[in-house]
Amino acid sequence: MLGQLKELKKLRQIKKQMESVEIVEEYSGVKITMNGAMEVLNVQIDNPEDPKLEKYVRKCFNRAMRSVQKSMMSNMGGLGSMLGG
C-alpha cells in the first residue's frame, strides 16, 4: 500500500512537471501554445479571413504536438529517475 502511494506521488510530480512545459509553434499567422500534457493553452490567429486558415491551424497544431513530444522525450531522463529508473 505504501509503495502504491509513493508511485502515485511520483506520477503527480511527473504530471505537474509536464504541465509546466510550454511549447509555442507558429505557422502562417497561426500561433498555438501547448503544454507538456498536450493541452492547448492559447491560439492566436493573425488573419481570420484567410481562406487557407483551416490548413494553417491544422499544420500549426500538428507541429506543436510534435514539438511537445520531442520535448518530453528529451526530458525522459529526468522523468526516468523520478520513476526509479
Structural domain boundaries of the chain?
A: 2-82
SS3 26: strand
CATH number of 2-82: 3.30.1310.10
Higher pLDDT, 55 or 77: 55
Q: Which residues pair with 23 in a beta bridge?
A: 34
Do 43 and 30 contact (CB within 8 A), yes or no? yes
pLDDT of 5 reads 84
Residue 46 has, within 13 A of its CA and on its CB side, a CA count of 8
pLDDT value of residue 72: 83
Residue 78 pLDDT greater than 70, yes or no: no
pLDDT tens, 14-72?
Answer: 888 888 889 999 999 999 999 988 899 999 999 999 999 999 999 999 999 999 988 88
